[in-house]
């Protein structure tokens, strides 16, 4: 790896966030999943959770849509809802679903600067009732059109770019947030030859 490539990857890792993730529940189309992955990469989200409790596990993503984003993300796949939520609760303080309901909050009223997992449902049914019952709340993206829904990848992009805006304003991208074994493993997976000279080794 060239020093320029090393520095580029190090710069990206320094912007990765450890307190926000996206959960995709039973999303049918792998191209929708890969489009979400590409957006997650663009805003510094490192982890993404794929829950396939009602459909079979995906064997591959739509590479054309993701531009190989999947290889830069930490993708967790689950087939059991309870196990998925157990893993989420260990990492994130709040779990929010996108669901049109009377108690749903406006996206732009949410504080997305904290530790949060954002759950998006499939193209036909949205987030399941079981998942909503296990979550901490619902939110909606405000709309004024006839069709009160967005494509899953578009809805996710709108939401996490709002999170990106809030986190940027709060200074979350001003210093590295990943550390310890997780960061060390990513360096190995990404092919770092050595740490850049101006980047001291993180002792976690």
Compute how many other C-beta atoms are within 10 angstroms of the C-beta atom of residue 87.
15
In the chain the domains, ranked by start, together with CATH numbers, are 17-177 (3.40.1280.10)
CB 193 within 8 A of CB 1: yes
| Neighbouring-strand partners of residue 23 | 49, 119
Question: What pLDDT shows up at residue 24?
Answer: 97
Q: Give the integer Cα–Cα distance in Å for 14 and 22.
A: 19
Segment 158-174 mean pLDDT? 98
Q: Which residues contact 165 (CB under 8 A, 6 or more apart)?
A: none
Which range, 2-6, 43-47, 188-192, has the best average confidence (pLDDT)? 43-47
The 10s digit of each residue's pLDDT in 90-115 is 999 999 999 877 788 999 999 999 99
Q: Give the integer Cα–Cα distance in Å for 177 and 24.
A: 24
Closest CA to 49 of 28, 23, 68, 15: 23
Question: What pLDDT shows up at residue 54?
Answer: 78
The 10s digit of each residue's pLDDT in 36-92 is 999 999 999 999 999 998 776 766 654 444 447 888 999 999 999 999 999 999 999
CB 45 within 8 A of CB 140: no
More confident residue, 176 or 196: 176
Q: Give the integer Cα–Cα distance in Å for 23 and 82.
A: 13
Q: Which residues contact 118 (CB under 8 A, 6 or more apart)?
A: 20, 21, 22, 23, 96, 98, 156, 159, 160, 163
More confident residue, 203 or 194: 194
The 10s digit of each residue's pLDDT in 101-159 is 778 899 999 999 999 999 999 888 889 999 999 999 999 999 888 877 789 999 999 99
User: Structure tokens of 101?
Assistant: 């309901």
| Neighbouring-strand partners of residue 49 | 23, 76
């Amino acid at each position: 790896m060239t020093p320029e490539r090393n520095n580029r990857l190090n710069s990206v890792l320094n912007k990765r966030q450890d307190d926000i993730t996206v959960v995709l529940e039973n999303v049918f189309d792998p191209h929708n999943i890969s489009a979400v992955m590409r957006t997650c990469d663009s805003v510094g989200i490192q982890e993404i959770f794929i829950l396939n409790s009602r459909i079979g596990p995906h064997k591959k993503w739509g590479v054309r849509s993701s531009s190989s984003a999947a290889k830069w993300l930490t993708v967790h796949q689950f087939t059991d809802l309870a196990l998925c939520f157990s893993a989420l609760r260990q990492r994130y303080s709040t779990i929010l679903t996108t669901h049109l309901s009377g108690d749903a909050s406006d996206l732009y009223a949410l504080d997305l600067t904290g530790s949060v997992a954002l759950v998006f449902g499939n193209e036909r049914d949205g987030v399941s009732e079981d998942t909503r019952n296990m979550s901490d709340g619902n939110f909606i993206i405000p709309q004024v059109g006839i069709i009160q829904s967005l494509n899953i990848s578009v809805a996710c992009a709108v939401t996490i770019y709002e999170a990106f805006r809030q986190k940027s304003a709060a200074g979350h991208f001003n210093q590295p947030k990943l550390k310890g074994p997780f960061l060390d493993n990513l360096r190995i997976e990404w092919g770092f030859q050595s740490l850049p000279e101006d980047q001291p080794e993180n002792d976690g």
